Amino acid sequence: MADPSLPSILKRMALIDPANRPAAQFDTFIAALVTQAKKDGDLRPDVDAVDIAILVTMVGSLGSLGEEYAGQWRRQLSIVLDGLRPAGYARPKLAGRPLNAKEFRATLHGLTRRAKRAGRSGHGPAA
């Protein structure tokens, strides 16, 4: 499961290293992947490297929802990946099953309780 602290880590890295050298290497790598995927016809022509970087962060943030949501990230990733495919690609079956409304609310309430406990203990996430 993705590390829910990744956005905080990335923000801190930008403060520590304003030149953002590791990110520049990542950007070059992702740009090359996007170029090749478009060339191969495996990626929509209107998607760029920044879109992919944002999607990585979005899907990775699902880890902050905790263990109750662990099985759902594969399903959400399937939806995101399907949206990146060019027109005409076969639509694969989605992973897992969707949460029902009651399960989703329980997951969100669990996240709120964990955040409150973390705030009281003084060990909340770093800004």
What pLDDT band is residue 21 in, cutting at 50, 70 and 90? low
Rg (Cα) of the chain, in Å, rounded? 18
Chain segment 110-126, per-residue pLDDT in tens: 766 666 676 665 444 44
pLDDT for residue 103 is more than 80: yes
Tokens representing 22 are 């590791």
Q: Kindly list the domain boundaries of the chain, sorted by start residue.
A: 6-98
- Alpha-carbon distance of 100 to 114, in angstroms, equals 21
Question: So what's the pLDDT on residue 59?
Answer: 81
Residue type, 123: H
Question: So what's the pLDDT on residue 34?
Answer: 94
More confident residue, 80 or 107: 80
Nearest of 104, 126, 54 to residue 84 by alpha carbon: 54
Tokens representing 63 are 């880890």
Three-state SS string over 12-52 comes to HHHHHCCCCHHHHHHHHHHHHHHHHHHHCCCCCCCCCHHHH
Tokens representing 19 are 């030149």
Q: Residue 76, SS3?
A: helix
* 4 to 9, 36, 97, 125: CA distances (angstroms): 10, 30, 22, 9
pTM over 0.85: no
Chain segment 25-77, per-residue pLDDT in tens: 778 888 999 999 999 999 999 999 889 888 887 887 777 776 767 677 788 88
Question: So what's the pLDDT on residue 18?
Answer: 72
